[in-house]
Amino acid sequence: EPEVTQTPSHQVTQMGQEVILRCVPISNHLYFYWYRQILGQKVEFLVSFYNNEISEKSEIFDDQFSVERPDGSNFTLKIRSTKLEDSAMYFCASSWRNEQFFGPGTRLTVL
């Protein structure tokens, strides 16, 4: 059964550094998403992406964040200058007929 995959599973970075989180959505899906979950808090929507552009973004998704689909398979989330409060689990999802399928997540730790 096809799955959403994410790499790396764990990323440790220094504050102020750029990170890129990678996702490979399910191949025939058209909508892609990033969510995050800070430890002990709710899963929060960051951004949705359709037809090579952002379709919706949350207040969290400020100028430090960007998304890209650089080729036909990858979907990336870039954080330009990480802050301590960016430490969280980041989930990628893709959807088909209003059902979202999630990847295993990348745990980002900012020191």
Partner 1 sequence: AQSVSQHNHHVILSEAASLELGCNYSYGGTVNLFWYVQYPGQHLQLLLKYFSGDPLVKGIKGFEAEFIKSKFSFNLRKPSVQWSDTAEYFCAVTDRGGNKLVFGAGTILRVKS
Helix (H, G, I), strand (E, B) or coil at 83: coil
Q: 77 or 93: whose CB is closer to partner 1?
A: 93
CB of 107 to partner 1, least distance (A): 12
- Cis amide leading into 25 (omega within 30): no
Q: Which residues bind partner 1 (CB under 8 A)?
A: 31, 33, 35, 41-45, 48, 55-56, 58, 91, 93, 95, 98-105
On whether the CB atoms of residues 49 and 60 are closer than 8 A, the answer is no
- Shortest reach from residue 33's CB to partner 1, in Å: 7
